[in-house]
Amino acid sequence: MMKKTKAILVTVFVVGVLLCLGASPALAAGDKVLRIAMDAADISDIHPHFAHTTQDRAVVHLIFNGLVRYKTGDISRFEPDLAESWEVSADGKVWTFHLRKGVMVHPWKGNPGYELTSEDVVYSFQSAANPAKSGFAGGYVGMSFEAVDRYTVRITLEKPMSETLFLPKVADYMGGLIIPKKPAEELGEGFRTHPVGTGPFIFKKYLPKEKVITVRNEKYFRGVPKLKGVEVFFMSDLSSRKFGLRSKELDVIEGPPSQPWVEEMQALPGVKVDVFGPGEAGVLYFNVTKKPFDDIRVRRAIAYSISRDEVATTIGKAIAAPIYSQIPPPQTGFLTRAEAKLRGQQEGKDLLYDLDRNKAKKLLAEAGFPQGFTTKFYMTERGEYAIPMQNVVAQLRESGIDAKMITVDHATYHHNIRADMNTIVLYNCWRASADMKLTHFYHSDSIVVTGKKPITNFIHLGKVDVDGDGKVDSIDYLIEAAREMLDAQGQRALWQEAQYKLLDWCVSYPLFIKRFTYARQKYVDWGYDLKSTLILSPQINELTSISK
Amino acid sequence: MIAYTIRRILIAIPTLIIVLTITFVLVRIAPGDPAEVRLGDYATKESVEALRKEMGLDKPMWIQYLETLEGLFQGDFGRSMLNGRPISEEIKRSLPYTLELTLMGIIFGAIFGIPTGVYTALKRNTLSDYVGRTLSLAGLSFPTFYLGILLMFAFSIKIPIFPVVGGGDIHNLADNLYHLVLPGLTLGLIMTAYVTRMARSSVLNTLNEDYVRTARAKGLTERKVIYKHLLRNALLAITALIGVYAIVLIGGSVMVEIVFSRPGLGKMMIGALKQRDYTTLQAVMIIFASLVVFVNLITDLTYGLIDPRVRYK
């Protein structure tokens, strides 16, 4: 009996070991599929007109194109994508795009694919402009789309728009990603988990909570991609991603904005760390409808209590840097420290608000708070917000300001700040243009809860007096004038003017720009110089290769 | 026994409805909105309102609740508020990963825990007993996720023999088992700690029973006393407690799935919670509650197989 039991146990053990050994080659080196792990439990939506999270964008960017595209690895320039050329009328209202010929739509569910034409492009923009079919519809209001011929698309605007503002709307980002008509109509709701585009990689499979599998598009118009495919994994645990990279089960992993992590990864043999832009600008917004933030002296006291350098160092020297304007560098319209300083000197003001606790305490005393004051606000548990904010809170305490953080989960935080529940809001983001940033955060239409189109004007700027002169203060007229200005220099000047006012009123306090961190195996070659990318993760395209 | 089983299943229905009701209310009173989460920062108010309507969130809560109940009674979990996929499909894919992980944890726990518990009981107050008890206590105090990370470091980095990413292909037995070893061991070691302690305690209780003394008195070998008389009786209590701890393991599997990136119900639940995917969260909670009810039932039924004296009424 005992012998029999032993024999069974030994057999089970041997079979188990053989099964495991048999499975090992599945992970063997030699294939050219790139495996990238994102900090997420799953996709949210991989329909390009809804995709707004980093993991969603990492997937859709493999599959879709725009009429134009941000230069790969450097968002400061545009270059042709599906359109090989374009022209604009003298009044800046009519934009005409000439499509590349021979661009093939990916095959899908038994359909062989077909040549992309102006009909698809018009369908895509009409869909992007429809609030029921797009999360980015607001960006396409006042536009009409027309197929002039098979390869020509005309976009007519109600109001003129400069190239700086218009091209992002037709670029390979958000609503500018072109969805072909036939698969979009045929798949309907299914398109959200089975996207079909024209990009370098073809969607193959979505394994919920695990990964999206794509394979190379042999008919890609820029040439056959060097990779056989790309697999995007969803792994919310940082340790797992790190171990996956170290065991070479993963080729690229998303990292946290953390200096120790960057240093740890850099020390690993065979691993390279990419720190790239454009980054997310961290700005403090003061709700001027809530006391004592209605008093400009209190807001300035807060600004003088904070050392931006210290906050940036807390995040990490390799990752974050101080900023001095609401539009962060390198976006058109940002202010350098020297520009803000010079303007302040010209007007006899201080627009930099460098750390000066004596001045802060004096301002607080003038405002009637010689012993400081206490305030409470909600804060997300996510490290990229909580870590810098903890530093800010510690610095404020030095001036007698007791800012108490109520930590909640990220979805609750976003809900609460939009419900006008916070006195101070820290918001980290990048917006596609200066107009979008200023409109979302400072235009009166965007005031949370009560605005015509409530978005993220947490300050309530445009509806209240913020400088104590008894008049309502607003930069709406500057935003709107810049929006319609075709001259690039004039437009930039208006955006800067708006920011000088914001700095003077101290309704928000620009803190830092925080760049993105990814670690990769050294055998992964992006195929381009990675400086900045709007999808906030490295772009993987036809040039990307694995050389192992 | 069949009548008993049917009765137990019927009794479970109100339990499941209570779980659904609590989950339904809690997720809806928590701040955050699935439409806002899905559409993101750029969405217009109209887009958010349109999506809320499409999701049925504009209806009064009691109507939403009745619709959810109606769907459940028809076996329909509805669609994910996030990606529109049928939830039953997602559960169909995720459930096997969670079940196999829990099962593997129980198997590891039983294989390592029962012999260790019996051995330490038989060697009571010796060095072996002290070591066994100390290790099991350490196992009980170890956080699951930390143990998982340690095992990853040991067996994927230092001795690179097991993978750390994903659950493997569920349709490929070899690949699936290969990916199951480390997460299974993580849960299994925790389970071993529980099983060791209860097996030891159960054997110690049984050692003083009259029938054990009688067996020894009539001259049976110690091996026969242990295997034929002692273990069989001690197993009854052990089985009952394994059932209880299996429920604990189902909970523990959530962290293990996150750490090992396994696409199971735990990962599904955490994702749904973060993204305010109400329908998915409700469905996962119902499945977890059903699993607990099912494991309880199986445990009760197993008594009868081990101890013929047990009668089901």
Residues A327-357: tens digit of each pLDDT? 998 899 999 999 999 999 999 999 999 999 9
- Is the domain of A199 the same as that of A282? no
Q: Please name the residues in contact with B55: beta carbons below 8 A apart, sequence gap of 6 or more.
A: B34, B35, B81
Q: How far apart are CA B185 and CA B188, in angstroms?
A: 5
Rounded to a whole number of angstroms, the distance from the CA of B45 to the nearest CA of chain A is 6
Last residue of some domain: B87, B113, B136?
A: B87
What's the CA angle centered on A258, arms A257 and A263, to 5 degrees?
A: 125
Please report which confidence band the pLDDT of residue B308 belongs to, taking 50, 70 and 90 as the band edges: low
Whether B167 and B297 share a structural domain: yes
Q: Is residue B283 part of a domain?
A: no
Q: How many angstroms separate the CA atoms of A207 and A229, rounded?
A: 15
Please tell me which residue of chain B has the smallest CA distance to A381.
B274
For the beta carbon of residue B214, count every other beta carbon within 10 angstroms: 12
CB contact under 8 A, B44 and A131: yes
Q: 10 Å Cβ neighbour count for B25? A: 12
Q: How many residues does chain B have?
A: 313
Q: What is the pLDDT of residue A527?
A: 95
Single-letter amino acid, residue B59 = K
Task: Note whether B45 contacts A429, CB cutoff 8 Å.
Answer: no
Q: Within this chain, do residues B81 and B46 fall inside the same structural domain, yes or no?
A: yes
ipTM of the complex: 0.80
A interface test, pick of B27, B29, B37, B42 with most A CB neighbours within 10 Å: B42
Identify whether residues B132 and B119 lie together within a single domain: yes
Find where tokens 């042709």 sit.
Answer: A80
Q: What is the pLDDT of residue A31?
A: 67
For residues A463 and A534, state if they share a domain.
no
Closest CB to B178 among A23, A131, A455? A23
Residue B278 in any domain: the answer is: no
- Give the three-state DSSP class for A248: coil
B172 and A131 in contact by Cβ < 8 A? Answer: no
Is B51 in the same domain as B145? no
With beta carbons less than 8 A apart as the criterion, state whether B69 and B20 touch: yes
Residues B117 and B264 in one domain: yes
Buried b vs exposed e over A328-340: b needs ≥16 C-beta within 10 Å?
A: bbebbbbbeeebb
Contact criterion met (CB below 8 Å) for B52 and B296: no
Residue A457: strand pairing partners: A447
Distance in Å from the first CA to the final CA of chain B: 8
Could you tell me if B151 and B60 lie in one domain? no
Q: Which residue of B has its CA nearest to A408?
A: B31
**What is the number of structural domains in chain A?**
2
Average pLDDT over residues B135-146: 83
Does residue B287 lie within any of the structural domains?
A: no
pLDDT for A435 equals: 95
Residue B214, helix vs strand vs coil: helix
Mutate to test the interface with B, among A130, A169, A210 (most CBs of B within 10 A): A210
Alpha-carbon radius of gyration of chain B: 24
Write the CA distances from A404 to A286, A426, A481, B255, integer angstroms: 15, 14, 40, 30
**pLDDT value of position A9:** 46
Which tops the pLDDT comparison, A163 or B309? A163
Separation CA B58–CA B220 (nearest Å): 75
Q: Are residues A407 and A533 in the same domain?
A: no
Q: Which of residues 101-120 of A touch B (CB under 8 A)?
A: none
Contact B40 A24 (CB under 8 A): no
Radius of gyration of chain A from its Cα atoms, rounded to whole angstroms? 26
**Per the domain annotation, does A53 fall within a domain?**
yes
Angstrom CA distances, A527 to A15, A205, B160, stand at 44, 25, 30
Q: What is the pLDDT of residues B168-203, one digit of tens each?
A: 888 888 999 999 999 999 999 988 988 888 888 888
Do residue A238 and residue A328 come from a single domain?
Answer: no
Q: Domain residues for B170?
A: 92-271+292-306
Higher-confidence residue: A425 or B121? A425
Residue with tokens 């189902």: B250
If asked whether residues A327 and A236 sit together in one domain, one would say no
* A36 → chain B, closest CA residue: B165
Q: How many residues does chain A have?
A: 548
Asked whether residue A222 is domain-assigned, the answer is yes
Q: CB B41 to CB A455 under 8 A?
A: yes
Min Cα separation B182/chain A (Å):
12
Residue B203 lies in a domain: yes
| C-alpha span between A325 and A345 (Å, rounded) | 16
Domain end, chosen from B50, B68, B87, is at B87
Q: Is residue A477 part of a domain?
A: yes
Q: Judging by DSSP bridges, how do beta strands A201-207 and A211-216 pair with one another?
A: antiparallel
The secondary structure element, H or E, covering residue B242 is helix B231-259
Residue A16, domain member (yes or no): no
Q: Among A438-442, B4-8, B249-253, which is the least confidently predicted range?
A: B4-8
For residue A269, tell me if it sits in a domain: no
**Token couple for A387:** 């870590």
Residue contact A408–B31, C-beta within 8 A? yes
Using an 8 Å Cβ cutoff, are A446 and A331 in contact?
A: no
What are the beta bridge partners of residue A518?
A254, A274
Helices (H), A172-307: 181-187, 238-246, 259-266, 296-305
**How confident is residue B306, by pLDDT bands cut at 50, 70 and 90?**
low
Which helix (H) or strand (E) segment is A34 a member of? strand A33-38
CB-CB under 8 Å, B165 with A249: yes
A418 lies within 8 A of chain B by CB: yes
Q: What residue numbers bound the domain in which A224 lies?
A: 33-251+523-546
Residue A207 to residue B33, Cβ atoms within 8 A: no
- Mark whether B27 and B138 lie in a shared domain: no
Instruction: Let me know if residue B202 belongs to a domain.
Output: yes
Instruction: Report the relative pairing of strands A373-380 and A401-408 from DSSP bridges.
Output: parallel
What residues contact residue B259 under an 8 Å CB cut-off, 6+ apart?
A237, A239, A240, B144, B145, B148, B149, B152, B183, B186
Q: Examine the domain organization and report whether A509 and A448 are in the same domain.
A: yes
Residues B216, B104: one domain?
Answer: yes
Question: What are A318-321's contacts with CB under 8 Å, separation 24+?
Answer: A318/A259, A318/A262, A318/A275, A319/A257, A319/A258, A319/A259, A319/A262, A319/A275, A319/A514, A319/A515, A319/A517, A320/A257, A320/A388, A320/A512, A320/A513, A320/A514, A320/A515, A321/A512, A321/A513
Q: How far is CA A290 from CA A150, A298, A300, A471, in A?
A: 57, 12, 15, 18
In a domain, A336, yes or no: yes
A250 interaction partners in chain B (CB closer than 8 Å): 165
| B178 neighbourhood in chain A, CB within 8 Å | 19-20, 23-24, 26
Q: Last residue of a domain, which of B60, B87, B114?
A: B87
Is B245 found in the same domain as B155? yes
Phi and psi torsions of B145, nearest 5° = -65, -35
The CATH number of residue A381's host domain is 3.10.105.10
> Is residue A263 situated within a structural domain?
no
Of A192, A193, A210, the CB nearest to B166: A210
B274 neighbourhood in chain A, CB within 8 Å: 41, 409-411
Q: Is residue A28 part of a domain?
A: no
Assess whether B148 and B70 both reside in one domain. no
Mean pLDDT value of segment B229-239: 79
Q: What is the DSSP string of B59-125?
A: S-HHHHHHHHHHHHHTT---B-TTT--BHHHHHHHHHHHHHHHHHHHHHHHHHHHHHHHHHHHHTTT
CA A289, distance to chain mean position in Å, is 29
Conformational region of residue B56, where left means phi above 0, alpha means psi within -120 to 50, and beta covers everything else: left
Q: Quote the pLDDT of residue A27.
A: 40
Check pLDDT > 50 for residue B124: yes
Question: Which pLDDT belongs to residue A548?
Answer: 75
Residue A66 belongs to domain with CATH number: 3.40.190.10
Segments of chain A scoring below 50 in pLDDT: 1-3, 5-30
Contact assignment for A233 to B166 by CB distance below 8 Å: yes
Please state the pTM of the whole predicted model. 0.85
Whether A309 and A247 map to the same domain: the answer is: no
Please, are residues B257 and B264 in contact by the beta-carbon 8 Å criterion? yes
Question: Chain A residues with CB inside 8 Å of B82's CB?
Answer: 42, 44-45
Residue A26 CB: number of other CB atoms within 10 A? 15
* B271 CB burial (10 A radius; 0-12, 13-18, 19+): buried
The answer to whether residues B238 and B302 belong to one domain is yes
Q: What's the pLDDT band for B250 if we cut at 50, 70, 90?
A: confident
Distances (CA, A) of A180 to A132, A342, A522: 18, 51, 36
Judge if A390 and A311 occupy the same domain.
Answer: yes
Residue A380 φ/ψ, nearest 5 degrees:
-70, 155
Give the list of residues 6+ apart from residue B56 with CB closer than 8 angstroms, or none. Answer: B64, B67
In a domain, B284, yes or no: no
What pLDDT is recorded for position A10? Answer: 44
**pLDDT tens for residues B213-228?**
888 888 888 888 888 8
Q: How far apart are CA B145 and CA B137, in angstroms?
A: 17
Q: Is A54 on the interface with B (CB under 8 A)?
A: no
**SS3 string of A464-532?**
CCCCCCCCCCCCHHHHHHHHHCCCHHHHHHHHHHHHHHHHHHCCEEEEEEEEEEEEEECCEECCCCCCE
User: CATH number of the domain that B220 lies in?
Assistant: 1.10.3720.10
Long-range contacts of A465-468, Cβ-Cβ distance < 8 Å, separation of 24 or more:
A466/A288, A466/A294, A466/A296, A466/A505, A466/A507, A467/A296, A467/A504, A467/A505, A468/A295, A468/A296
CA-to-CA distance for A18 and A34, rounded, in angstroms?
Answer: 28
The distance of A23 to chain B (nearest Cα, Å) reads 5
Q: Mention every residue, 6+ apart, whose C-beta is less than 8 A from residue B237.
A: B198, B202, B205
Average pLDDT in chain B: 85
Q: Based on the domain organization, do B48 and B183 belong to the same domain?
A: no
Residue B300 has pLDDT above 80, yes or no: no
Q: What is the 3-state secondary structure (H, E, C) of B44-76?
A: CHHHHHHHHHHHCCCCCHHHHHHHHHHHHHCCC
Whether the CB-CB separation of A443 and A462 falls below 8 Å is answered with: yes
Domain count, chain B: 2
**B32/A239 Cβ within 8 A:** no
Residues A461 and A533 in one domain: no
B311 found inside a domain: no
Same domain flag for A410 and A360? yes
Is B112 a member of any domain?
yes
